Structure 1
Amino acid sequence: MDEAHRRFLDQLSQAVAQRLEAARAQELEAQRAATLSELNTAKTHFLSTMSHELRTPLTLLLGPLHDVLSGRVDVLDRAAVEQLNGQCQRLLGMVEDLLEISRSESGRLVAHPEAVDVDGLTAQLVESLLEAGERAGLRMSRTFRGAGTCLLDVRLWENVVLNLVSNAVKYTLEGSVHVDLAMDDQLVLTVRDTGIGIPEAQQSLVFQRFHRVRAGEGRSIEGAGVGLAIVADAVAELGGEVSLESAPGVGTTVTVRLPVREAEDATAPATAPTALRLAGVRAKALDLVPVEEPGPERRPAAGPAGPTLLVVDDNAAMRQHVASALGEVGRVLVAADGVEALEVLARGDVDLVVSDVMMPRLDGEGLVAAIRKSPDRPDVPVILLSARAGSEAAISGLGRGADDYVAKPFSREELVARVRAHLELSSLRRERQRRRDRETMLAGVSHDMQTPLATIANALELLTSLGIPDLPPEITGTMTRSVASLRGLVAEFLDWSALSTGARVRVHLEDLEVPSLVADVAWPRGLELTTQVGAGARVRADALRVRRILANLATNAVRAGATRLWVGTDRDTDGLHVRVRDDGPGIPAEVLARLFQPWTTSQDTRGSGLGLYVSRESARAMGGDLTLVDTSSAGTTFDLRLTSGG
């Protein structure tokens, strides 16, 4: 162990120490980065949640006020004023919670003890919350075991009691909530519930600021995640401790133990919460379980029921506000969350859904995704309402399949206008789809009919050519005319099917003599026909289509009651005109406006309603046109313009 060895060991120890110090510094830096990341995530979640928490009551405040300012209503009734007051109390409670957090972080949370009748004060604080639990179907109970007068900070004790009991009611969907208060050498408050419970991994985090349990949801998703943090701060300032026992699906028990500081005057008068605080407690209770839930549906005061709308929101006041606004549009159904909304959708037809985004069990975006995957009505329009403003929030909702995104606060007029617009668009989409389905079906049927028709026509020709003596010619004539009529009908359907897809009617143009064209038309029997066709007149047209157009005009005239028909021609610079005039009663006024549209028929006539539409399009495909010249009780005249031939 000489001097060289000592120098070597010194250098080695210094190098190891430096490495260890660097490793410790790196570990501390990683811990700081993780802590900052957690804080940033918590801050982002808190700001998002607070945006929702603030915008919902602001919407409910601005809505009635805007109604008055816009002149829609003259004065607000008592129920509306009470709603405004409740939302103001809710906002005030949020501000108070944030102030409590601010005081704690800045070291300004200082207890100011005074003589308090703990039994009396606590009873007044929990009364409204216990009533809210009973309205929700819970078994609510309290046991106050002789807690008398002691020195206590009223504001801090109120924070402890209200947050613990309201949390118990909020997260207990069925079962019971019990509040126990006892005072001996310690003041012990125990709040026990049979609610959703807290997973073990999150139990150590529930008293941290802005932390919210992710395992399940209660009656509402609302809340900033500061309630239990306020409890922990208040208990610490009062010199006590708080403990928690919980299991998912079993329930939660929170126990607060405070040292008892005896008051000099054990008979001090009972200390009551301020009127403002009691109003805040009642508002909190109404948030948890509203006194008057909206009915399963609301109908407009007058007029037809109209479309069926579904309003989905976990906040009862917001549900009622939106349902009231949409009552003028149609029949309104309501649901408390996405799961309940899907149950309503499964029971019957809903024309449009208006849903909040942040909800328990199934949120708005999840509801949109479920509707779009539904085999029944995946095309139901969905409008999302959210407190999250900005393009990112809108892109998120629209990306899941929502039709529109409305940020809170919104005006009644804006919401109603958007709902009406989407209902109209949905109606147009459904009508377009029905037309496509009908067109596809008719085109298929028409195409399939051509083969048996050709077989029948060929058989008739064979029978006629054989000259069977026992077969009267009038029978074969009738059969031949029927087959020709049916062929024309099938041809109309096929032409219409092509036109409905944007294609043009197919034509085969050739030079034709007009007299032979007119002579070859299958004119209806029982019609007195007069023709004045110029000899040698020629046109460039499709012979089959010209004959169909003229036969269609004649058939329509007979169906309308005509007995005579005049067919004449004349020529001008536009081409050759074939005029067809009948002595019928004229075309009804209600039919004239849509005369050349598909499916147009009068009440007293039969037919497919496609004849004039296909005839005009056929004439145009040949370079001409078909127009109505005049119509009156003396008869109707049509003009078929064709291109002159060589």
Structure 2
Amino acid sequence: MTDRSGLPFSAPGVMSDLIHRFDWSATPLGPVEGWPQSLKATVKTLLGSRYPMILLWSEDLIQIYNDAYINLIGDKHPYALGHSIRDTQAESWEVIGPMIHEVISTGTPNWVPAQRLALNRAGFTEEAYFSLSYSAVEDDEAVIRGMLCVCSEVTQQVLGERRLKLQRDLAAKAGEVRPQEKVCGDIAAAISDYPWDVPFALIYLNDSRDDAPLLGAAIGVEAGGEAPGRWPLDRALQGETIELDGIEERLAVAGGPFQAPVTRALVLPLRGAGDTALGALVLGINPNCAFDEAYRSFCELLAQQVSMALRNARAYEEERERADALAALDQAKTAFFSNVSHEFRTPLTLLIGPLEEALATAKGQPEQRKRLTVARRNALRLTRLVNTLLDFSRIEAGRARAAVQPVNLTTLTVDLASNFRSAAEQAGLTLTIACQDLGTPVDVDPDMWEKIVLNLLSNAYKFTFTGEIALTLNRDGDDAVLTVRDTGVGIPRKELPRIFERFHRVEKQRGRSHEGTGIGLALVKELVELHGGTIEVDSVVDEGTRFTIRIPMSSRATAPPAGPTDLDATPTRAETFMEEARIWSSDRGPHEEADADPLPAELDGMRPHILLADDNVDMRAYVSRLLRARFEVTAVADGAAALDVIEERRPDLVLLDVMMPVKNGFEVLSIIRSAPSGAQLPVILLSARAGEEARVEGLRAGADDYLVKPFVSRELVARVEGAIRLAQQRAEAAEREARIQADVDLAHRELALKDSMLAEIHHRVKNNLQFLSSLIALTIKDLADPEAVQRLEDLKGRVLNLGLMHNLLYGVGETPIDAVAFLRALAEESRTAYAMAHVGLEIAADPVSLSADQMVPLGLLLNEALLNAFKYAFDDQPNPLIRIALRRNSSGLLGFSVCDNGSGFGKPRPGSSGLRLMRVFANQLGGELAVTYDKGSQLSIEFPEVRR
């Protein structure tokens, strides 16, 4: 470290050393020794400050600065020290020169915030910003000789605020939902306001219909002359960000505050939802700014904001396309309904006419008339549905108008409402009709008014089970007001805003039937509006509903549309509404037995029991009639009643209509399948929903079969018979399985009992053998005769061997025993038990499995051989060894041998108990024992292998 204690303005840091070493005599300031005290004091203050400071002295404006100032001038240090600022800051002299001159000439201090300066401190002309404070410096005679500048660089703050403002502008654009073309234009307008930060920009859009990306917007360049091939767009579309240098060769663009040629660009990907490629963004880089991490992050944020704006635009366009497609589809559907409805009317006419003729000629044939009446009733209902669709299609197509005429609305309304009186009385309801004399005819379309009144009354009747239905008509100023009120189930509040929507139906709504198209109330609303009127609804759940219609007394009906109109009327016959109402009120209760000829009780009890649930009375009667010849049928009108029947008496098969009130078919099926025994109950779903998807849905829900309406009688009967037959087969299989399982359980219990008995026997055998061994040991202690002692010792060994074999064979049962493993284990256990661990064992054997009947005598034979060897063979043998072999010979017999390398012993007495036992064991194996006593001893036997 340099010792600065004797220097005139010593201070820590690089510049203090540099100033003291500098040859000031070669500058206008001269040697340091000749400097005025004021200059030295100022330099000392400057060096002692950590804030960037520079001192300019003399007319030549010679520079002296501190350590903090070095970072501000970059590679101009250390040359700037001792040289004129006019030379080192020539590029910014036009800006700072006048300010310096003013301070030195007037002595007035100056302060400039965020002053932009052109600096060439890093090899290029840089856009830099400084906050500058100038003050004059006097010499010892109080004459201004220089200037002290305290400066602070704020380049990053200025650039950051400017870039942030651009990002805010883009963010505001990105949040708006507009077409893609408009979005690109707005983005271009926002970016063009910041040419210093983005000298030029190109937005390329990835259009799947074109091979190459399309130019969506160009900022700072001519759009017509810009080609996608100049840029690596394919890499950007793959998600890569590419930095390009030397772009001035392909694109001549000046940028930045000092309009230098743009030499660098950044190509960034524009990503959509799910990381899909929306396009690419090409950004020119400010040539007067360092391309650092902050600048790169700014560019990436721009790309993200452009991506967001394009995503919103794509979503907007896709939504608009979907809306257009839906509108076109809706229009096509309306046209289809209109055409189909027209086409239906001819065959319906040819259907209803012959039915009425057949009814007229079927007098005295009650069964025939009953069937014809059902057919005619449903043909009329189909006609009403067709007419409703046709009316609605006309309205949707804009071809409907009210053909108004002066009508006595009171009389017309009373006549229409009175048709419902008999149906209401049959259902136990009170029908109240209170229509005032309006005093003057009302301009209405009679046919449309008929549809309005009948639809509202039919709707009230459908959802009212007790109480009353009240219809009132009165005058309120220039309006006729019709009110239909009921005490029915009501409409939930959340459903009220959608009650007049086409095809909207209130889910889980209790009604007399689940049938309907969902367009009745929507049609009423449209018809009322065609009269220039309004309709309102008020409802409280479980209390009732009120519909209020207001129409002008004098015609304000919608004018006929331009062009041709369809003037054909579609008169609605009140008869169709009445027939439907009578059907709803003719239900015979939840446990409706199908009409059938009475059968003997013993025969009736043998027939399978079918439960049918369908809310249509005619359908219940028809299906019951088809099935009653072969089955006992119980028919109910809704899902809840079906569950009650199942609870009371389990049927053999359930036929469920999918669409029913209270509980639909899927709900009933789910409850059935969730019951412990419900999996075995066959269920067939009946539905008007055709198609493979509907069938799969039904089967996935747990149905055994799915039958689509309309169906032929033979198919229904065949499906029912097949399902019942399959269920019976399943039941029989389950019964067989239960019997087999019972047998298996019994066998398991018997085996467990056997295992328990074996365990008890095993325990007792071990205890008895242990007791016998202990008793022999006590007896030996009391004997003095050596021969008797020896016999008891042999007996003790045999008892020990029996215990070892018992442990090895316990639990084997009838399973074949691995003879090699058994002999090895027995020999090892015996060697340990007789304390003969020093005796070697060699076992050579073929893979042989023997039953316990053969394994026991073979083990006892081995024990006797080992006992003799342990006792007599190895008195003085240094490496005792016993060889055991079990081999199959060429004649198919098993050869077993035990030999040792002992010293041998004399031939035993013929009456020897050991030899006698070995011969007994050999005979049990079906062989003959051979014994040799030469060098060591060897016994061998050949015996047949008993296979099981």
TM-score range, shorter chain: 0.5 to 0.7
- Partners of 2:724 and 2:530 lie apart in 1 by 57
How many angstroms does 1:134 deviate by? Answer: 3.3
Alignment partner, residue 532 of structure 2: 239
Q: Retained in 1: the 8 A contact 2:590–2:637?
A: no
| 6, 11, 19: which one aligns with 2:173 | 19
2:391 corresponds to which letter in structure 1? E
8 Å Cα contact 2:464/2:486 also seen in 1: yes
2:326, 2:510 → 1: CA distance? 22
The answer to whether residue 444 in structure 2 is matched with residue 166 in structure 1 is no
Matched AA of 2:617: A
Check whether the contact 2:684–2:704 (CA below 8 A) recurs between aligned residues. yes
Task: Show CA shifts across 1:153-202 (max 9, x none).
Answer: 11110121111111111122333321112235421110112223223333
**1:323 is matched with which residue?**
624
Summarize the Cα distance change of 1:176–1:362 in structure 2 as closer, same or farther, 3 Å threshold. same
How far apart in 2 are the matches of 1:319 and 1:364? 15
Query: Any conservation in 1 of the 2:417–2:433 contact (CA below 8 Å)?
Result: no
Separation in structure 1 between the aligned mates of residue 702 and residue 460 of structure 2, nearest angstrom: 36
1:77 counterpart SS class: helix
Instruction: State the identity as a percent.
Output: 35
5 Å matches for 1:251-270?
A: 251-261=544-554
Aligned to 2:503: 210
Provide the rounded CA distance (Å) in 2 between the counterparts of 1:249 and 1:385.
30
Q: For residues 291 and 201 of structure 1, do their structure 2 counterparts lie closer, same or farther at Cα, with a shift above 3 Å needed?
A: closer
Pair 1:401-2:555 in alignment:
no
CA distance in 1, matches of 2:510, 2:333: 16
Give the 5 Å matches for 1:265-280: 277-280=573-576
Q: Distance in 2 between matches of 1:339 and 1:218?
A: 13
User: Does structure 2 retain, via aligned residues, the 8 Å contact 1:381–1:426?
Assistant: yes
- SS of the residue corresponding to residue 224 of structure 1 reads coil
**Counterpart position of 1:118:** 409
Residue 78 of structure 1 deviates from its aligned partner by 1.3
- How far the C-alpha of 1:45 sits from its partner, in A, is 13
- Residue 834 of structure 2 corresponds to which residue in structure 1? none
**Alignment CA distance shift 1:139-1:279 (3 Å):** closer
Shift in CA distance, 95/121, structure 1 to aligned 2, threshold 3 Å: same
Superposed, which structure 2 residues align to 1:541-620 within 5 Å? none
Distance 1:291 1:196, change over 3 A: closer
TM-score (norm 1): 0.57
Counterpart Cα distance in 2 of 1:201 and 1:36: 29
Could you list the per-position Cα deviations for residues 420-445 of structure 1 after superposition, in whole angstroms to 9, with x for gaps in the alignment? 11111111211222232233335545
**Structure 2 match to 1:286:** 582
The aligned counterpart of 2:593 is 297
Moved more, 306-315 or 249-258: 249-258
- Aligned pairs (5 A) from 1:26-425: 26=313, 29=317, 32=320, 77-147=368-438, 149-183=441-475, 185=477, 186-214=479-507, 216-261=509-554, 277-290=573-586, 296-298=592-594, 300-301=596-597, 302=599, 304-305=603-604, 306-425=607-726
Letter in 1 for 2:177: A
Letter of the structure 2 residue corresponding to residue 216 of structure 1: Q
- Kindly provide the amino acid, as one letter, of the partner of residue 487 in structure 2: T
Q: CA deviation at 1:280?
A: 1.8
Partner residue of 1:479?
A: none
Distance of 1:365 and 1:83 partners within structure 2: 28
Residue in structure 1 matching 2:739, options 416, 438, 454 = 438
Gap regions ≥5 residues in structure 2: 1-161, 180-312, 359-364, 556-568, 758-813, 817-948
- In the aligned structure 1, how far is the partner of 2:593 from the partner of 2:533? 50
Structure 1 unmatched ranges of 5 or more:
1-7, 69-73, 263-272, 456-505, 509-646
Are 1:141 and 1:177, in contact at CA under 8 Å, matched by a contact in 2?
A: yes
Count of aligned positions = 423
Supply the distance in 1 between the matched residues of 2:333 and 2:680 (Cα, whole angstroms).
32
Aligned counterparts of 1:376 and 1:41: Cα–Cα separation in 2:
47
Summarize the Cα distance change of 1:214–1:298 in structure 2 as closer, same or farther, 3 Å threshold. closer
Q: Specify the code of the residue in structure 2 equivalent to 1:123.
A: V
Does structure 2 retain, via aligned residues, the 8 Å contact 1:300–1:329?
no
- Looking at structure 1, the residues matched to 405 and 508 of structure 2 have their Cα atoms a distance apart, in angstroms, of 40
Kindly tell me: are residues 76 and 340 of structure 1, through their superposed partners in 2, closer, same or farther at Cα, counting changes over 3 Å? Answer: closer
Q: Deviations over 1:338-359 (max 9, x none)?
A: 2211111000121000111111
Aligned equivalents of 1:40 and 1:279: distance in 2? 37
CA 131–299 in structure 1, closer or farther in 2 if over 3 Å, else same: closer
State the AA in 2 paired with 1:146: D
Query: RMSD of the alignment, in Å?
Result: 4.4
Report the Cα distance in structure 2 between the residues aligned to 1:153 and 1:139, rounded to whole angstroms. Answer: 29
Inter-partner Cα distance in structure 1 for 2:635 and 2:329: 34
The separation in 2 between residues aligned to 1:39 and 1:193, in whole angstroms, is 37
Alpha-carbon offset, residue 104 of structure 1: 1.1
Cα distance in structure 1, aligned partners of 2:574 and 2:419: 9
Could you say what secondary structure the match of 1:378 adopts? helix
- Seen in structure 2, the aligned counterparts of structure 1 residues 245 and 212 have a Cα distance that, compared at 3 Å, is same
- Return the letter of the residue paired with 1:354: L
Aligned to 1:536: none
Task: Quickly say closer, same or farther: Cα 1:122–1:288, change in 2 above 3 A.
Answer: farther
1:427 aligns to 2:722 (yes or no): no
Higher RCO structure (Cα 8 Å, ≥6 apart): 1
Rg larger in 1 or in 2?
Answer: 2
1:31 Cα shift?
6.5
SS in 2 for 1:23: coil
Return 22-31 or 148-157, whichever deviates more. 22-31
CA drift of 1:17 comes to: 12
**CA separation in 1, counterparts of 2:382 and 2:595?**
31
SS at match of 1:204: helix
From the superposition, tell whether residues 102 and 19 of structure 1 become closer, same or farther in structure 2 (CA, over 3 Å). same
The alpha-carbon deviation at position 151 of structure 1 amounts to 3.2
What is the rounded CA distance, in whole Å, between the counterparts of 1:277 and 1:292 in structure 2?
Answer: 27
For structure 1, which segment, 240-249 or 323-332, has the greater mean C-alpha deviation from structure 2 after superposition?
240-249
Distance 1:248 1:290 in 2: 25
Aligned equivalents of 2:501, 2:326: Cα separation in 1? 12
Separation (CA, whole Å) in 2 of partners of 1:446 and 1:403: 36
Between the aligned partners of 1:140 and 1:507, the Cα distance in structure 2 is 89
TM-score by length of 2: 0.40
- The whole-number CA distance in structure 2 between the counterparts of 1:160 and 1:217 is 23
Distance 1:32 1:169, change over 3 A: farther
- Native 8 Å contact 1:299 1:331 kept in 2: no
